[in-house]
């Protein structure tokens, strides 16, 4: 064999040559073999990547991944073996497989193999069909992505090709608003200087545009297919990795080398914006793309109950083996002492030796396996079939819940709405929804809408945007029904823009110079790019904040129209104004401000906007009044969670500006310390500013987010926010959604750059937390577990001296004395610090600090870091985790968490495709967990407890019978009864229980989130609960066997004939067994539906019909046994005696605990029943409230300045970003709309306020009806009594004012109850 190594142009030639030099002493044959093996090994583990555009033959030798993606697990070929392998990981399935093999051996089996084969095949088939359906949905999603179209340059011509057939080295053409098919190196674009703009919301959750620029050497390729097809450069770059912010490579072209970096790479999942077309060469495709590298692998998720069941099944198997071993020893003893004397009457099998020792020994060994078969039903194979059916039905209930449907306008047809349903994309994790302890949430698009709204402003010391009650002078909140300011006279106004304070428009109409200058600054001082689409003016902003400010100026008549590198044109109240752009002093994180210097009519003016702390330091003296009033307004805006910004202006003299401009140019072209010199120049000119005012914009949260977070917190669920946004932005949102509040002891910020700094900060914070906890414990040694329904928190130290279980059962949500709670820390950590915190050396320290904090926010984290944080909590806390997000950057953590929830929002469908559950809004997570999750867990736990009880009661009857049949493995029941006991006689009632049962309805499940806590702490089904159910079944089996045994031991019928025979006795025990387990499930059923009645009573009828059918029609061995049993009064007496002995203790035990030690669920259920009785006598009032009536909080001003990034200032002034000829935009014609009548100011609803009236309110119509009035008053007294029963104490709430409503105390109120859903069953 000969290899021409010189002809192989690979990156591995040098390595192979070096190795050849090192092992030159080896034989040539061995040398060639070593080189081949080394080359193949190195190809499989590439160290760099070489790509030649338009040269598929060269690229094919490296076998780079194609652009085909796969998120599914199975194929048609591997489905059966792979799925069976996964299913037999369940110990029960494997156990029954072994049992089936034993039953195929006639000498040891007393039952037909069909009794095991049919249920086992059924279980495997049902589960396999479900898994196949789930994977089919993944295949469909993959096909939708793989079949997207892209234009690929092949043989010098553009051809349309599906994404899956795109390969590394292909040159593709992308057009505006298209998704990028793969990771491509930008070659040319339609924009000047090779620029293009992309939206990366799929990658990092940010919807603001980012600018990319190709090499100047490739810009000239343009869009000529011939020139691009002749491009023959070679790209040498890094191997595939998951680093979204880094790319290193080199382009070899015409004998020169050109560096490549991340600014020249377009990543898969990005969307091309504001760019007509661009060309690029594929460098990473399919699974090698950075998006897929961050996605993680599809994992087989199993619930904690599944894992517990595996352990329990293993324990049951050992228990079964112990019983078999006992029966084996007992059989040996019996055969030795007694059985040998009856060999003439009961001869041994031919295989059994006849000697006195060997015979009993062999029989005993065979009996071991026989009892393993007879007692096998103690490990119920039908359990898994029932579990899968219940999970499937619960998934349908989630899909059908009309309370989790979100209606949004159709983008294609505004007159229509799109209904987005919540969807259970898997059917295996429903009960896990009821045990979630940690939620990991993305921010942008998940908690927020990523929409900024101009809310309020302060101009020349006057506040605008706040509505006051004309009677009281107190502010009230805006509601959707109120009429907004009419801006229709402005041809450029946006219908979506809403402002409710007419005083601002009045000031503009009166030509107030301060207001005009305020909005003129907003229209001029920015780096927004205008875009003209279909004659409409649209803005592409560097950040949503800046877009909101420019949009506000536009709607108030100061419209930014266009820009060139040297000018800005606006329309000021219909008058076009063009300003010469002299300089842009761009924003960065150090300056926290931006300025523009403009000239018009010979006057030079500097406009500046930035953080209040920065701007106030640069104001000139002599304007104390406006400074004071504006500062007051800033404090108020920040207290409401708004993102504030200060605006200022300064006039410049021409000589000074020319001198400053010269020095600015010198600093800008300096080779060394350029940034420091520019900073000094900027500081010089941005002094002695005149304050104009301040803006306040709101980062719109999704509807119901604060309420949902508060309810989840009360349910003992911890929420961690993992976001790619900046620290200050995330903190602002934390305050807005009440994840962070003023009553926190402190917000701990970890921002160390090195390992030692991060470790030091974490240790210091841990000491601080311990010190505060110790001080709180010393100050309040009492054990107070009262919970505040306003802030949903325990008072300080209540958890320190109280076990979690005691806290959970302490009672309903009640108000503390002051209605507020204090306590806790919040932790905020940056991405660069998180790198060290997740290190094996410090991860436990980080987790110790984080788990002691009430809230955790991780900022600037990569998708992989999100997954690592989730995995850290999974490994060390042993808690159920849920990850929720809406973008491709959340896919990794969604797959890592026990449960993944995808939001079908503004950032594509990648998160939904990888999720276990999908929904349209974060607020639906509250209902998904507190209602469906809790119900699913509650039903599954009750189902399992009952299932093990009935199977132990059934199976152990054989064990008691063994003492009377010489341990011969004789069964007490008819074999047909054994085969169908779990299939027909007892399966349907317990299925109805597992699907429809509920202890409290949906409204109360959400009204009292503490009901969720038993699931968090795994209280409803655990090892102890299993042992209790098994012991209950053990006792029941003894009673079921020995009472009939005693009753029928010497019994005779009415004709005097004996009734002591095996078949009759077995039929009696079987009949009483069916009746007992049926009565037991009646006691266990808390919520009766038609299905429960049909299945429970139908099972009794089915037993009678099936027994007669099997014996008379099929010719069974027990012909006439049941008829004989039902004719005798002794049977009914025995049946009643057994029921009394078994049921009375159960009823008494439950009555004692409900009456003396009621749980929270017991209290709510009692209240629910009384309310149902009173519903016909009074008008039920539903009292709404949000978690905290206090909205003011610590200052988080200048959120814009913190969140903003460095803008497009340098590109604007250079002219590179400009198009040659902007398309003129036609203003829209004035549209005079008839606004709805203004609502009265005293009818507004204040979100966040809780109010109710003591007793019960009644309608005005009752005033004329004395009996109705008296009934309502009586109902009010009873309602207050219920509240006291449920709360355990009478509590009065903090009085709060609300527009149009009197102050009122707060009795027992609910978190924001909703009307019952159609799926409340």
List the catalytic residues: 442
- Least Cα distance to 1029 among 322, 119, 312 occurs for 312
Phi-psi label, residue 212: left if phi above 0, alpha if psi -120 to 50, beta otherwise? beta
Q: CA angle at residue 1095 from 1091 to 1101, to 5 degrees?
A: 145
Task: Using the Cα atoms of residue 1286, residue 1291, residue 1295 and residue 1296 in order, give the sign of their dihedral.
Answer: negative
Provide the Cα torsion 977, 980, 982, 984; round to 10°.
Answer: -120
Distance CA 11, CA 375 (A): 66
- Least Cα distance to 541 among 556, 526, 519, 525 occurs for 526
In this structure, how many other beta carbons lie within 10 angstroms of the beta carbon of residue 1002? 24
Task: Give me 206's structure tokens.
Answer: 């940010």
Q: Which residues contact 289 (CB under 8 A, 6 or more apart)?
A: 182, 183, 240, 267, 268, 269
Distance CA 528, CA 140 (A): 40
What is the SS3 assignment for 608-626? EEECHHHHHCCECCCCHHH
Specify whether the CB–CB gap between 986 and 1077 falls below 8 A.
Answer: yes
What is the SS3 assignment for 242-301? CCCCCCCEEEEECCEEEEECHHHEECCCCEEECCCEEEEEEEECHHHCHHHHCCCCCCCC
Q: Which residues contact 974 (CB under 8 A, 6 or more apart)?
A: 1063, 1066, 1067, 1070, 1110, 1116, 1117, 1118, 1121
Task: Give me 100's structure tokens.
Answer: 């089936």
Task: Using the Cα atoms of residue 204, residue 209, residue 211 and residue 212 in order, give the sign of their dihedral.
Answer: positive
Three-state DSSP class for residue 1265: coil
Integer CA distances (angstroms), 664 to 599, 658, 682, 968, in order: 17, 10, 8, 103
- Least Cα distance to 281 among 181, 203, 210, 209 occurs for 181
Three-state DSSP class for residue 941: helix
Task: Using the Cα atoms of residue 497, residue 503, residue 508 and residue 512 in order, give the sign of their dihedral.
Answer: negative
- Least Cα distance to 1214 among 288, 504, 572, 563 occurs for 563
Distance CA 885, CA 871 (A): 16
Give the DSSP H/E element, type plus range, for residue 857.
strand 855-859
Q: Describe the chain by its helix, strand, coil percentages, rounded to 5.
A: 45, 15, 35
Specify whether the CB–CB gap between 193 and 278 falls below 8 A.
Answer: no
Helices and strands in the chain, H and E counts: 44, 37
Integer CA distances (angstroms), 1000 to 1234, 1263, 1321, in order: 47, 34, 10
DSSP per-residue string spanning 84-144: HHHHTTSHHHHHHHHHHHHHT-TTT-SS-THHHHHHHHHHHHHHHHHHHHHHHHHHHHHHH
């Amino acid at each position: 064999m000969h290899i021409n190594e010189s002809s192989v142009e690979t990156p591995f030639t040098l390595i192979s040559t070096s190795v050849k030099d090192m092992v030159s002493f080896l034989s040539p044959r061995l040398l060639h073999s070593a080189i081949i093996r080394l080359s193949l090994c190195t190809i499989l583990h590439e160290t760099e990547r070489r790509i030649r555009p338009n040269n598929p033959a060269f690229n094919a030798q490296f076998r780079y991944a194609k652009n085909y993606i796969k998120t599914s697990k199975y194929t048609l070929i591997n489905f059966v073996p792979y799925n069976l392998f996964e299913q037999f990981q369940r110990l029960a399935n494997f156990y029954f497989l072994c049992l089936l093999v034993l039953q195929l051996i006639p000498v040891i089996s007393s039952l037909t193999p069909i009794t095991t084969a049919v249920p086992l095949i059924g279980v495997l088939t049902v589960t396999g069909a479900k898994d196949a359906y789930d994977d089919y949905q993944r295949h469909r999603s993959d096909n939708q992505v793989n079949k997207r179209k892209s234009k690929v340059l092949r043989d010098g011509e553009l051809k349309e090709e599906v994404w899956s057939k795109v390969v590394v080295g292909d040159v593709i053409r992308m057009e505006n608003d298209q998704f990028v098919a793969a990771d491509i190196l930008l070659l040319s674009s339609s924009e000047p200087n090779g620029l293009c703009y992309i939206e990366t919301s799929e990658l990092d959750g940010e919807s603001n545009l980012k600018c990319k620029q190709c090499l100047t050497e490739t810009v000239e390729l343009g869009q000529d297919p011939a020139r691009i097809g002749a491009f023959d450069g070679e790209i040498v770059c890094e191997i595939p990795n998951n680093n979204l912010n880094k790319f290193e490579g080199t382009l070899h072209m015409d004998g020169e080398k050109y560096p490549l970096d991340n600014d020249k790479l377009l990543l898969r999942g990005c969307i091309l914006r504001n760019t007509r077309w661009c060309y690029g060469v594929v460098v990473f495709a399919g699974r090698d793309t950075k998006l897929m590298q961050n996605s993680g692998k599809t994992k087989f998720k199993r619930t904690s109950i599944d894992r517990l069941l595996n352990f329990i099944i293993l324990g049951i198997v050992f228990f079964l083996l112990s019983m078999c071993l006992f029966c084996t020893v007992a059989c040996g003893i019996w055969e030795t002492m007694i059985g040998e004397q009856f060999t003439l009457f009961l001869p041994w099998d031919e295989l059994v030796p006849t000697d006195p020792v060997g015979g009993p020994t062999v029989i005993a060994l065979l009996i071991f396996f026989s009892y393993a078969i007879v007692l096998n039903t103690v490990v119920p194979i039908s359990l898994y079939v029932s579990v899968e059916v219940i999970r499937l039905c619960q998934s349908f209930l989630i899909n059908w819940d009309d309370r989790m449907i979100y209606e949004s306008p159709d983008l294609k047809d505004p007159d229509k709405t799109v209904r987005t349903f919540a969807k259970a994309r898997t059917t295996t994790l429903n009960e896990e929804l009821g045990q979630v302890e940690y939620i990991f949430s993305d921010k942008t698009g998940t908690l927020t809408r990523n929409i900024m709204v101009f809310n309020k402003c302060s101009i020349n010391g006057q506040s605008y945007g706040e509505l006051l009650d004309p009677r009281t002078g107190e502010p009230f909140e805006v509601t959707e029904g109120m009429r907004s300011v009419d801006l229709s006279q402005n041809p450029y106004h946006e219908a979506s823009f809403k402002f409710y304070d007419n005083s601002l428009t009045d000031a503009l109409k009166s030509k107030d110079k301060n207001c005009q200058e305020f909005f003129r600054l907003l229209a001029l001082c920015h780096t927004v790019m205008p875009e003209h689409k279909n004659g409409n003016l649209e803005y592409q902003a560097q950040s949503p904040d800046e877009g909101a400010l420019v949009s506000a100026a536009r709607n108030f008549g100061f419209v930014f129209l266009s820009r060139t590198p040297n000018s800005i044109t606006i329309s000021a109240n219909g008058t076009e104004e063009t300003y010469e752009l002299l300089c842009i002093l761009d924003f960065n994180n150090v300056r926290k401000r931006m300025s523009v210097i403009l000239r018009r009519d010979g006057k030079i003016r500097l406009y500046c906007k930035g953080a209040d702390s920065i701007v106030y330091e640069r104001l000139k003296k002599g304007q104390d009044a406006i400074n004071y009033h504006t500062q007051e307004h800033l404090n108020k805006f920040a207290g409401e969670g708004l993102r504030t910004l200060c605006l200022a202006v300064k006039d410049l003299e021409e000589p000074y500006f020319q001198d400053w401009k010269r020095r600015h140019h010198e600093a800008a072209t300096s080779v060394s310390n350029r940034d420091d010199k520019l900073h000094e120049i900027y500081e010089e000119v941005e002094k002695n500013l005149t304050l104009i005012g301040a803006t306040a914009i709101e980062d719109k949260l999704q509807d119901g987010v604060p309420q949902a977070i508060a309810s989840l917190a009360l349910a003992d669920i911890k929420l961690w926010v993992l976001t790619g946004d900046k620290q200050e932005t995330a903190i602002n949102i934390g305050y807005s959604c009440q994840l962070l509040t003023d009553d926190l002891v402190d917000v701990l910020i970890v921002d160390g750059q090195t390992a030692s700094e991060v470790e030091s900060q974490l240790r210091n914070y841990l000491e601080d937390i311990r010190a505060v906890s110790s001080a709180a414990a010393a100050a309040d040694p009492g054990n107070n577990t009262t919970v505040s329904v306003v802030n949903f928190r325990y008072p300080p130290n209540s958890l320190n001296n109280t076990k979690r279980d005691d806290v959970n059962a302490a009672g309903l949500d009640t108000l503390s004395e002051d209605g507020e709670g204090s306590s806790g820390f919040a932790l905020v950590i940056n991405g660069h610090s998180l790198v060290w915190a997740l290190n094996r050396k410090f991860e436990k320290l980080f987790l110790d600090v984080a788990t002691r904090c009430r809230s955790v926010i991780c900022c600037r984290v990569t998708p992989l870091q999100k997954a690592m944080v989730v995995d850290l909590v999974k490994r060390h806390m042993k808690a159920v985790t849920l990850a929720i997000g809406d973008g491709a950057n959340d896919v990794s953590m969604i797959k890592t968490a026990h449960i993944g929830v995808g939001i079908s929002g503004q950032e594509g469908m990648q998160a939904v495709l990888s999720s276990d559950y999908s929904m349209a809004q974060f607020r639906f997570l509250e209902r998904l967990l507190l209602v469906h999750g809790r119900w699913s867990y509650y039903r599954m736990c009750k189902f399992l407890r009952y299932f093990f009880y009935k199977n132990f009661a059934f199976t152990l009857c054989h064990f008691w019978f063994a003492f009377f049949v010489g341990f011969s493995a004789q069964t007490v029941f008819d074999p047909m009864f054994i085969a169908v006991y779990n299939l027909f006689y007892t399966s349907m009632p317990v299925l109805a229980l597992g699907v429809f049962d509920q202890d409290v309805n949906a409204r109360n499940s959400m009204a009292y989130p503490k009901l969720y806590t038993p699931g968090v702490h795994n209280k409803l089904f655990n090892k102890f609960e299993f042992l209790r159910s098994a012991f209950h079944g053990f006792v029941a089996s003894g009673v079921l066997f020995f009472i009939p045994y005693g009753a029928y031991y010497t019994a005779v019928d009415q004709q005097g004939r004996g009734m002591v025979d095996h078949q009759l006795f077995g039929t009696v025990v079987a009949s009483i067994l069916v009746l007992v387990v049926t009565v037991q499930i009646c006691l266990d059923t808390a919520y009766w539906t038609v299905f429960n009645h049909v299945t429970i009573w139908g099972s009794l009828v089915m037993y009678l019909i099936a027994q007669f059918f099997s014996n008379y029609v099929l010719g069974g061995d027990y012909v006439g046994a049941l008829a004989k049993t039902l004719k005798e009064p002794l049977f009914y007496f025995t049946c009643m005696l057994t029921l009394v002995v078994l049921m009375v203790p159960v009823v008494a035990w439950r009555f004692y605990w409900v009456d003396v030690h009621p749980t929270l669920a017991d209290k709510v259920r009692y209240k629910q029943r009384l309310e149902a009785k009173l519903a016909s006598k009074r008008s039920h009032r539903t009292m709404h409230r949000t978690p905290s009536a206090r909205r003011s909080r610590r200052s988080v001003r200048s959120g814009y300045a913190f969140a903003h990034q460095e803008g497009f200032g340098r590109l604007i002034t250079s002219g590179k970003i400009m198009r040659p000829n902007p398309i003129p935009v036609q203003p829209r014609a004035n549209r005079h709309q008839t606004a709805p009548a203004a609502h009265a100011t005293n009818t507004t609803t204040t979100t966040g306020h809780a109010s109710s009236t003591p007793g019960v309110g009644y309608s005005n119509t009752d005033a004329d009806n004395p009996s109705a009035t008296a009934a309502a008053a009586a109902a009010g007294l009873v309602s207050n009594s219920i509240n006291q029963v449920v709360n355990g104490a009478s509590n009065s709430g903090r009085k709060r004012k609300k527009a149009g409503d009197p102050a009122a105390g707060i009795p027992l109120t609910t978190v924001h109850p909703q009307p019952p859903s159609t799926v409340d069953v």
